[in-house]
Copies of this chain bind each other. A is one copy, B any other.
Amino acid sequence: MINYPNKKKVSNQKLTSSANRGMNFESMINRTNEFYRDNDLAIIHKKPIPIQIVGVDYKTRSAAKITEAYYKLPSTTDYNGIYKGYYIDFEAKETKSKTSFPIKNIHEHQVKHLDSVKSHGAISFVIVYFSSLERIYFLDSDVVSKFYKRAKTGKKSISLDEFEETAYLIKEGYRKPVDYLAIIDKYYIKK
C-alpha cells in the first residue's frame, strides 16, 4: 500500500516547492510513480526490499509469520519500469548535506547495473534529493559512472556545483512530487 504521510496537511498548502516538505523522499517518488500509473503515462514500480528469510512459523495456514529474516544488499536498483517503450531504471538517494553528495551512498554493483542496462538501450539514472536545500537532481548514469571512477583515486563526493554543471534539476510539484519524466521527455526522447 502506498503511504501518504502528509496528505491532509499538504492539501491545504499552495502548489509550491514546499508542498512536499516533510514527506520522505521515497514517498515522494512513490506518489509520483502512482500518478504516472494512474494516468497511464508510465508503469514504474519500486522493487521490494530484498530479505533473506531464515525462520517461518506456519501455525496458521492463511498467514505464515516470518520470525527471522535479515536485510540483504540489493543486487540492482530500487526502481524500474517502462515509459514510451523505453526501459527505465534508476536509484534514488537523499542527503541532508547542503554542499555535496557522498558517492559511497551508491553501491558499486548498482553503478555497474545502471551501466549495463544503459548499454542495452535503457534510460538509466540516479535521482539525488538535497533535502535541506529542497533540490532534486537527475544524474545520467554516465555521469554517475564518471564520478564513481574519480572517487576511486580522488574526490569521494559530488559537489553541489558539479550537480549544477552535470545534472538536470527536477521540478517539484504537488501531484508529481518528483517529475523525472519531464527530464526524460526534454533531454532523452526525440520528438
Contact A49 B51 (CB under 8 A): yes
CB 8 Å contact bits of A54-79 with B (1 = contact, 0 = none)? 00000000011111111110111000
A40 an interface residue at 8 Å Cβ cutoff?
yes
A80 an interface residue at 8 Å Cβ cutoff?
yes
A31 to chain B, nearest CB (A): 15
A43 an interface residue at 8 Å Cβ cutoff?
yes
A158 an interface residue at 8 Å Cβ cutoff?
no
State the oligomeric state as a number of copies.
Answer: 2
Q: What 10 pairs across the A-B complex have the smallest Cβ distances?
A: A85-B121, A48-B50, A66-B69, A87-B87, A82-B87, A48-B48, A82-B120, A43-B117, A43-B116, A47-B47
Contact A75 B45 (CB under 8 A): yes
A21 to chain B, nearest CB (A): 26
A7 an interface residue at 8 Å Cβ cutoff?
no
A65 to chain B, nearest CB (A): 6
CB 8 Å contact bits of A94-136 with B (1 = contact, 0 = none)? 0000000000000000000100110111100000000000000
Contacts of A4 in B (CB 8 A): none
Contact A121 B82 (CB under 8 A): yes
A145 to chain B, nearest CB (A): 16
Contact A122 B82 (CB under 8 A): yes
A19 an interface residue at 8 Å Cβ cutoff?
no
Contact B80 A70 (CB under 8 A): no
Q: What is the bound-complex CA distance between A69 and B67, given in angstroms?
A: 7
Contact B70 A67 (CB under 8 A): no
A42 an interface residue at 8 Å Cβ cutoff?
yes
CB within 8 A of A71: which of B40, B64, B122? B64
Q: Give the most central of A43, A45, A75, A121: most B CB within 10 Å.
A: A43
